Amino acid sequence: MKKLIKYISIVIVFFISITSIDLPIQAAGASVSVSAGQVYVGDSVTFTVSATGAGYVNISGAVNTSVWLENNSQSFTVSASSPGSLSVSISGVLADFTTEQDVPVSGSAVVQVISRPQEQPVQPQTPSQPTPDQTPAQEETTEQESTSEEQKKEEKNNEEKEKQENSSVNLRLASLSVSQGTLSPEFSSDHYTYDVTVDNSVESIEIDASAQENEIEIQGLGKKTLEVGTSTFEIITSSPQTQETSTYTISVHRKEKGQIIKNKEGKKFEVINDEIPALDGFEQTTISIDGKEVNALVSNTKNITLIYCFNEDQEKNFYIYNAEKERIESIYIPVTLFSKNYAVIDLEEELNTGFKEAEIEIDSQVLPGYEFESKDFRNYALLYLMDENGDTNFYQFERSENTLQKYSLAAPITIKRYESLLKRQSMDHKIMIGMLVVDILLVIGLIVLLVLYKRSMS
């Protein structure tokens, strides 16, 4: 019996020593990151200090403090007050949980602060403004034609108003609307001539109206076919009792079909040549595509040219135009995120596995981007953006802290490898708990055996 207790005690001590071996833990280290590489004067930027291990980290520069970190991170928001740069440096000594040694750490992060560019007013081009290739005589003719049209409309209005004033019945309309485009000017019962402009893709339009008096009849309503150019339609109100009439006129201007340009995938885009919205940082210009003048926007800082087009779904957007290859390179969606101006553009190459396309909501804006397929990264999203200098990069958006910072796809491990490490870490944690329970039971067992041993000796 004594020998049996002795052997069992030796086995228990052996198992306790085996289960007391430490599992691997990540080595000590510290880093500092910044939410943006460049900001405007007056904007805010966030520095984040992270540490693996435990100890005090000294922070200097734009932030001056000392914080205790233990396998966690802390963020500091700084306001950029003047042009130049903001930097944060860290130093300190952290205890490594694996080796139980003190490890010196250091690091720094810098953000450039620039003055906000002044917005330059853009002079809109009115229909009467001459094109660059018009001669002075042509300019004068265009102005005269425009003036003549306006005079005719004014005379028509005055004529119909006078007719209504002398009429014994009310022939006025209570409402007038079109299914496409917008009446110009806005409807008024005492205004009798209107203009409507629609895109080339609009082949027909429906006109609807109602009279102020129930007994008044209305002619000229319903569906109307549109020709390219100007189509004029008359809406006539009449009284069955007096046979008097009044006429409202709508001139619908259907735009000519724009030039068709393809991208590298062969998708077709129709150039919108008569309306170019203004963009900050861009100047209006004209470029030649297939021998035809096209309105465009150009940015010298980004070294890109934009044209305004319909896509195959008849959606309007800006697109980056490559003059050398005579094709569209990418969509260009200007956005402002965290007080900085960016543009969403297309990827040059497809992403590696581990990502999926998604719509990302940031500051009430829904933008095309990418999400990780792994649920462990549900709080993260990627956007491919161009900054104000024309540089392109992936940006990582973190939903819980609402932060945006540059992201490199050249990660040290793949998503699958990272998921494997997460599973292993979870398994190691369970094993440690199991070993701890086993150790406690073995210690209790050893104590019982020692007690039994002493009793057997007495």
The predicted-structure confidence for 300-353, as pLDDT tens digits, reads as follows 888 899 999 988 888 889 999 999 888 999 999 998 888 788 899 988 777 766
How far is it, in rounded angstroms, from Cα 6 to Cα 263?
83
| Residue 458 forms part of a structural domain | no
Instruction: Please report whether residue 456 resides in a domain.
Output: no
Task: Evaluate whether residue 405 is within a structural domain.
Answer: no
Q: Is residue 404 part of a domain?
A: no
Q: What's the pLDDT score for residue 129?
A: 43
Least confident of 246-250, 427-431, 445-449: 427-431
Residue 66 has pLDDT above 70, yes or no: yes
pLDDT in tens, 283-298: 999 998 888 888 999 9
Average pLDDT over residues 416-429: 55
Q: Is 270 found in the same domain as 249?
A: no
Q: Which domain holds residue 200?
A: 146-254
Question: Tens digit of pLDDT for each residue in 370-387?
Answer: 888 877 778 888 899 998
Tell me: do 239 and 266 sit in the same domain.
no
Residue 69 has pLDDT above 80, yes or no: yes
Q: Are residues 435 and 370 in the same domain?
A: no
Among 59-73, 297-311, 373-387, 424-438, whose mean pLDDT is lowest?
424-438
End-of-domain residue from the set 254, 286, 306: 254
Q: Identify whether 371 is part of a domain.
A: yes
Q: What does the mean pLDDT of the chain come to?
A: 80
Query: For a pLDDT cut of 90, what percent of the chain falls above it?
Result: 23
pLDDT band at 156; cut points 50, 70, 90: confident
Same domain, 244 and 271: no
CB 46 within 8 A of CB 33: no
Domain stop point among 215, 238, 254: 254
The pLDDT of residue 100 is 66
Give per-residue pLDDT as tens, 173-227: 999 999 998 999 999 999 999 999 888 888 999 999 999 999 999 999 999 999 8
26 confidence band (pLDDT: 50, 70, 90):
low
The total of structural domains in the chain comes to: 3
d(C-alpha 124, C-alpha 274), whole Å: 11
Taking only the tens place, the pLDDT of each residue in 130-152 is 444 445 554 555 555 556 778 88
Whole-structure pTM value? 0.47
Task: Please check whether residues 87 and 178 belong to one and the same domain.
Answer: no
- If asked whether residues 270 and 385 sit together in one domain, one would say yes
Q: For residue 422, name the pLDDT band (cuts at 50, 70, 90).
A: low
Residues 318 and 376 in one domain: yes
Q: Per residue in 98-130, pLDDT tens?
A: 766 778 888 888 877 777 665 444 444 434 444
Higher per-residue confidence, 22 vs 342: 342
Q: Which of 175-189, 222-236, 393-407 has the lowest mean pLDDT?
A: 393-407
Q: Give the confidence band of 412 by pLDDT, cuts at 50, 70, 90.
A: very low
Domain CATH code at residue 246: 2.60.40
Residue 438 to residue 407: CA distance in whole angstroms: 44
Inside any domain, residue 132: no
- pLDDT(50) > 80: yes
Q: What is the pLDDT of residue 210?
A: 95
Question: What per-residue confidence (pLDDT) applies to 127?
Answer: 41
Top-confidence range, 10-19, 35-44, 105-114, 320-329: 320-329
Indicate whether 235 and 287 sit together in one domain.
no
For residues 270 and 361, membership in a common domain is answered with yes
Residue 151 lies in a domain: yes
In a domain, 50, yes or no: yes
When mean pLDDT is compared over 39-53, 230-244, 347-361, the highest value belongs to: 230-244
- For the segment 58-74, the average pLDDT, to the nearest whole number, is 86
Same domain, residue pair 278 and 338: yes
Of 198, 220, 254, the one marking the end of a domain is 254
Q: Say whether both 31 and 56 belong to one domain.
A: yes
CATH for 79: 2.60.40.10
Instruction: Please tell me whether residues 388 and 283 are part of one structural domain.
Output: yes
